[in-house]
Amino acid sequence: MRVKVLLFVFAFNIAQSQSKFAFIPFEDMSKFKGRWNLKLEIPRYLGDFLMKFYGVEILPVDSVIRFSGEAKPNWVDIFFFSELNKWFGVRYVIGGKILVFNVSRFATGFPEMAGYESYSADVEIEIEVYNTFSGERVLIFGISGEVKEQGLGLTLLGKPTEKYTQFYSLDLLRFGSKEFNQTIIGKAMNKAGLEFAMRLKGYIPEAFSGSDESLREIEGVTELKVVEIKGKILHIGKQNLVYINLGSGDGLVPGVIAYVYDIDKKIADIEVVDVVDSHLSACKVLNSFGEIRKDFEVRVKIVK
């Protein structure tokens, strides 16, 4: 057993020896009946999201399982955590409970004639963060993602719509694939992933020091990609607020950091405080390096 572990350790790339976060399998309490193994798929997804959004090194859940060399009935193990720290420099271990993972369809009308259909997706996860030195749980917080697509159109003469076909073939898709990310449950997971990344950095910012947040391609286990979207300043408000033409339809949520530019000169750092509409958000000016004016360009990084 010890020989297997040592061989596995030395096979790792040296960059991974400084992983700040490791992910262990989650506990699935969602009663999800599909084909996806959520205990592994969700920590894979969240780890990939964190790595790509903030450029921080992680030890993925599959690597943690291989390192353990066995199926552990209880992954919350102080000795095991200390080994992750010893061999990989892991500072925090992330586990959790999947409370809700649900995709539902509502249809009304006459099946053989016409009707309306709508879909919703809900994800709720409890995140637990452990300190590898003490083995103690130092953080616990909830994340969620909810997407509703209503009034998706008229179904005629009982013919299945594109959404209907997609709904009944969802778990044939690879979790985290490009196709998955475009589905309603993929969009819900994206919201949960963004909340997870931002809240984790907010709680323990020191763990993100030295990370590379530049816009670059990072390979991972999912097909999530970091992209830069651009908008503009619509209005200069009072009390250090500005309004931009980016909103929920662009993937923004409160807490997202954006940057104001005058051509290629950065003018300010702003934080989204209120997503008003699909393409409208109120932002607080965090740092200003010049005068902010209407129509100045706004750049923000999101994961799709």
All CATH 3.40.50.10610 domain ranges in the chain, comma separated: 2-208
| Sequential pLDDT tens for the chain (304 residues) | 443 444 444 444 434 446 799 999 999 999 998 899 999 999 999 999 999 999 999 999 999 999 998 767 789 999 999 999 999 999 999 999 999 999 886 656 555 555 667 788 999 999 999 999 999 999 999 999 999 875 445 555 555 566 655 655 677 899 999 999 988 999 999 999 999 999 999 999 999 987 766 667 788 889 999 999 999 999 999 999 999 999 988 989 999 999 999 999 999 999 999 999 999 999 999 999 999 999 999 999 999 8
pTM score of the predicted model: 0.85
DSSP, res 248 = G
Question: What long-range pairs does 236-242 form, CB within 8 A, spacing at least 24?
Answer: 236/292, 236/293, 236/294, 237/282, 240/284, 240/285, 241/273, 241/282, 241/283, 241/284, 241/285, 242/270, 242/282, 242/283, 242/285, 242/292
226-303 folds as: Thrombin, subunit H (2.40.10)
CA distance 191 to 170: 18
State the CATH class of domain 2-208.
alpha beta
Neighbours of 289 (CB within 10 A): 12
Question: What long-range pairs does 122-126 form, CB within 8 A, spacing at least 24?
Answer: 122/146, 122/188, 123/185, 123/188, 123/189, 123/191, 123/192, 124/98, 124/99, 124/100, 125/26, 125/42, 125/96, 125/97, 125/98, 125/99, 125/192, 125/196, 126/96, 126/97, 126/99
Cα 106 to chain centroid distance, Å, stands at: 27
All CATH 2.40.10.340 domain ranges in the chain, comma separated: 226-303
Q: Measure CA of the first residue to CA of the last residue in the chain; give whole Å.
A: 40
